């Protein structure tokens, strides 16, 4: 199993490589999902790739955001540059960009990002057909679900094994984009899930705290199980984390992967190692995420680093800014403590457990818990190895005499280099074979170590300096040869992506109605619409509606797929089928259902290359992504029917974690009452839970309302959540008239 470490800058690259990573993933200055990390410019990227690959460490470039049409050419140029530098693989979210890179660089492995929300076997199988070499699986999969996927595919599988979780399925979150104008799908997530909320039932608060803030995950305890599953790569999250974090976490996972591989009978994680992991970063302790327990996910008390508990405050001297701590663990000068969420550097230690120079001491109370959030001693140890060459590459050598020259050959895989010096008669002491070998093996702080040596001379009269020169020149030449082997030549031309758009449509868009859920009190047949979309689960057990379009959910796990198989008659009778994830193409093929297929906005189609993928998959209509503005919408071709949501509450996130079930002892509590989250600004976000698989959908506090003037589309769509029949009639009338609803309850989202 490959150990894949995060790299946000060159220091962290050194930390990852020297502490045992098999591969690293990093981003360039553009087009990656951690836009706020330090990242790498072109020259730094080239040097980073060479640094890692010369040490037999693979480099995966994160080109993993949704692309707008005007960015495609630059993204392709970046892919070509990385290819020429010798990158090992590229991680991509955008389906259109991915297919274009696969076509242009067929020998470059492309990995499907976790942002593509591949959460079932069908998704993995489709990615394989599209030419991907690896899938980064959704973080929400259990051990059993991964085992089933592994059993049925030969695709490389990658899983997140340590670090931060998103509470939403990655790639299915619009929270930051719609509320904060910072798109998570574009690498600019503002982290609304890390804020505090009240959970409301029928308008009354029943819980509060950081209700959407997941703990970090740590899989050290279950590493043998993950390895037995046949996972190809274990990924550590943290491209924005510190050098110390990358160093410690990489070192620990290297240690225990090797232990599980070489001595599985004695596999046990040492308490001191777990303590180091918790010390460097944890959110309320750590769990195994969705691998084992889907509900023990969130830590509602604090959204950031908790640190290690070291005791309670038992004395306060406000005048001297000193506190006395009843210590349960040691503290050292230079540590950072957190008391009542206030941080203080330990710059004075008086009598062992009294700490001075405490800031905000007026807010500290007796019995407050004290946490060490930075260990100065632990961090110092990580920097001790900085720039020490621990990651050595094994090479072989042969030293022999050729005429008047002494020659040294070095071998690395298929590379052979040769250096020589003239063997002149000198007065220096004669070197025997063992001394020659000892001197040749002194590779010092280079990346090489000689494991196999063939010394073909018994005695040698040669200055030590000449022997050193012989070794140095050979090593320098071997490094140059390695660089040349890593880098590639490319004659691939990056064409300007043409705007394929034709003439503007003359007809007025038809109005479609989309039901987020079914309301028995509404006579939908009386409403004036062209077509109606109904969620698949709402059609189970109901009489056939008037030519409805059956909508599959954006997440189809094993439970849901079985339900679809058992109720395939619904799909047979439907006028058409709307898929909400690209993997559902494979599910429909398996069912042998030949229907008109449409794609919801959750497929994240944001450019004409991705539109072309839908066209080639025989999808006939797609709904515009809420990430797009009017200009970007008008850049699409006329190959497919286009639909725009002009009214409705946008689904901000889909989560496998359900705050309702966590706080109500479940028993399908979501079916008995109206639930919502209220934020610190008193905005209320409705929650709708799917009782079939307990997925939670959180909707925007404000209602999207857009006009469709100067937008070239075929259909406008009204999304209905809790509206009454009378309200729906009024909304349809307003949309027909081309009006948008205004006021404090409405937003036009990103459609500027």
The C-alpha R_g of the chain, in whole angstroms, comes to 30
Q: Residues 601, 685, 549, CA angle at the centre, nearest 5°?
A: 35
Q: Looking at the predicted structure, is the pLDDT value of residue 25 above 90?
A: yes
Q: Looking at the predicted structure, is the pLDDT value of residue 385 above 90?
A: no
pLDDT grade for 93, boundaries at 50, 70 and 90 = very high
pLDDT grade for 421, boundaries at 50, 70 and 90 = confident
pLDDT in tens, 195-241: 999 999 999 999 999 999 999 999 999 999 999 999 999 999 999 99
pTM (2 decimals)? Answer: 0.94
Structure tokens at 257: 């992967």
So what's the pLDDT on residue 363?
82
Mean predicted lDDT score pLDDT of the chain = 92
Nearest to 600 by CA among 536, 664, 504: 536
Q: Looking at the predicted structure, is the pLDDT value of residue 669 above 70?
A: no
pLDDT grade for 159, boundaries at 50, 70 and 90 = very high
The lowest-confidence range among 225-239, 286-300, 340-354, 473-487 is 340-354
Backbone angles phi, psi at 260, to 5 degrees: -65, -30
Higher pLDDT, 352 or 53: 53
So what's the pLDDT on residue 500?
52
The lowest-confidence range among 96-110, 173-187, 453-467, 626-640 is 453-467
Report the range out of 54-68, 349-363, 680-694 with the highest average pLDDT.
54-68
Q: Strand order in 415-422's β-sheet?
A: 415-422, 405-412, 393-402, 448-455
So what's the pLDDT on residue 446?
93
Q: Looking at the predicted structure, is the pLDDT value of residue 501 above 60?
A: no
So what's the pLDDT on residue 59?
98
Q: Looking at the predicted structure, is the pLDDT value of residue 666 above 70?
A: no
So what's the pLDDT on residue 413?
82
pLDDT grade for 664, boundaries at 50, 70 and 90 = low
pLDDT in tens, 623-655: 999 999 999 999 999 999 999 999 999 999 999
How much is the average pLDDT of 404-433?
85
How much is the average pLDDT of 273-294?
92
- DSSP-based three-state secondary structure for 218: strand
Residue 325: which H helix or E strand, with range? strand 322-327
User: Residue 704: how many CA atoms within 13 Å on its side-chain side?
Assistant: 29
pLDDT grade for 327, boundaries at 50, 70 and 90 = very high
* Alpha helices by DSSP H, 684-724: none
The lowest-confidence range among 151-160, 202-211, 412-421, 575-584 is 412-421
pLDDT grade for 506, boundaries at 50, 70 and 90 = low
Q: Residues 233, 306, 163, CA angle at the centre, nearest 5°?
A: 10
Residues 6+ apart with CB under 8 A from 740: 646, 705, 706, 707, 734, 746, 748
pLDDT in tens, 111-131: 999 999 999 999 999 999 999
């Amino acid at each position: 199993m490959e150990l894949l470490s995060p790299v946000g800058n060159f220091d962290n690259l050194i930390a990852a490589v020297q502490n045992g990573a098999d591969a690293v993933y990093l981003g360039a200055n553009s087009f990656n999902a951690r836009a706020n990390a330090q990242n790498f410019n072109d020259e730094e990227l080239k040097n980073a790739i060479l640094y890692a690959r010369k040490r037999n460490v693979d480099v995966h470039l994160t080109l993993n955001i949704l692309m707008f049409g005007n960015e495609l050419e630059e993204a392709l140029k970046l892919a070509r540059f990385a290819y020429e530098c010798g990158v090992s693989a590229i991680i991509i979210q955008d389906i259109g960009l991915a297919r274009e890179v696969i076509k242009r660089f067929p020998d470059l492995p492309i990995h499907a990002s976790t942002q593509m929300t591949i959460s079932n076997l069908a998704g993995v199988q489709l990615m394989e057909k599209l030419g991907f070499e690896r899938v980064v699986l959704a973080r929400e999969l259990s051990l059993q679900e991964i085992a089933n996927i592994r059993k049925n595919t030969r695709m490389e599988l990658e899983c997140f094994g340590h670090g931060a979780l998103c509470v939403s399925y990655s790639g299915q979150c619009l929270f930051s984009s719609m509320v904060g104008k910072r798109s998570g799908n574009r690498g600019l997530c503002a982290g609304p899930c890390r804020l505090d909320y009240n959970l409301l039932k029928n308008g009354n608060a029943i819980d509060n705290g950081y209700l959407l803030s997941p703990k970090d995950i740590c899989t050290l305890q279950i590493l043998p199980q993950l390895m037995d599953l046949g996972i190809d790569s274990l990924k550590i999250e943290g491209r924005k984390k510190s050098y110390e974090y990358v160093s410690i976490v990489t070192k620990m996972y290297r240690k225990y992967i090797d232990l599980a591989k070489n001595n599985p009978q004695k596999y046990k994680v040492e308490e001191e190692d777990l303590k180091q992991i918790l010390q460097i970063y944890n959110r309320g302790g750590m769990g195994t995420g969705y691998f084992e327990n889907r509900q023990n996910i969130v830590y509602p008390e604090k959204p950031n680093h908790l640190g290690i508990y070291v005791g309670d405050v038992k004395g306060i001297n406000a005048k001297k800014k000193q506190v006395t701590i009843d210590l349960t663990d040691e503290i050292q000068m230079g540590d950072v403590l957190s008391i009542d969420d206030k941080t203080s550097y330990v710059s004075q230690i008086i009598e062992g457990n009294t700490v001075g120079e405490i800031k905000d001491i007026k807010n500290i109370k007796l019995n407050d818990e004290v946490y060490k959030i930075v260990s100065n001693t632990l961090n110092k140890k990580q920097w001790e190895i900085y720039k020490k060459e621990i990651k050595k590459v094994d090479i072989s050598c042969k030293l022999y005499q050729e005429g008047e020259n002494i020659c040294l050959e070095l071998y690395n895989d298929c590379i052979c280099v040769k250096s020589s010096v003239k063997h002149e008669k000198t007065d220096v002491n004669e070197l025997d074979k063992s001394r020659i070998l000892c001197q040749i093996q002194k590779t010092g702080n280079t990346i090489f170590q000689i494991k196999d040596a063939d010394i073909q001379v018994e005695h040698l009269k040669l200055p030590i300096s000449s022997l050193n020169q012989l070794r140095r020149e050979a090593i320098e030449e071997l490094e140059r040869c390695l660089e040349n082997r890593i880098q590639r030549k490319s004659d691939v031309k990056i064409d300007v992506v043409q705007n394929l758009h034709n003439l503007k449509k003359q007809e007025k868009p038809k109005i479609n109605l989309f039901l987020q859920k079914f309301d028995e009190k509404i006579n939908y047949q009386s409403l004036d619409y062209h077509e109606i979309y109904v969620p698949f689960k709402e059609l189970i057990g109901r009489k056939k509606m008037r030519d409805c379009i059956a909508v599959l959910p954006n997440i189809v796990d094993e439970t849901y797929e079985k339900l679809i198989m058992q109720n395939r008659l619904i799909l047979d009778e439907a006028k058409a089928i709307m898929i909400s994830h690209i993997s559902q193409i494979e599910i429909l093929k398996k069912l042998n259902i030949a229907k008109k297929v449409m794609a919801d906005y959750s497929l994240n189609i944001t450019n004409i290359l991705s539109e072309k993928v839908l066209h080639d998959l025989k999808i006939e209509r797609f709904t515009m992504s809420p990430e797009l503005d009017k200009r970007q919408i008008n850049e699409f071709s006329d190959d497919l029917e286009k639909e725009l949501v002009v009214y409705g509450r946008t689904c901000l996130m889909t989560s496998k974690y359900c705050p309702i079930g966590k706080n109500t002892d479940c028993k399908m509590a979501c079916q008995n009452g109206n639930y919502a989250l209220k934020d610190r600004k008193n905005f209320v976000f409705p929650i709708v839970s799917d009782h079939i698989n307990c997925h939670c959908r959180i909707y925007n506090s404000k209602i999207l309302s857009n006009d469709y003037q100067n937008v070239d589309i075929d259909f406008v769509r009204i999304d209905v959540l809790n509206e009454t029949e009378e309200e729906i009639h009024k909304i349809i009338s307003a949309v027909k008239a081309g009006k948008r609803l205004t006021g404090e309850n409405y937003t036009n989202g990103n459609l500027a």
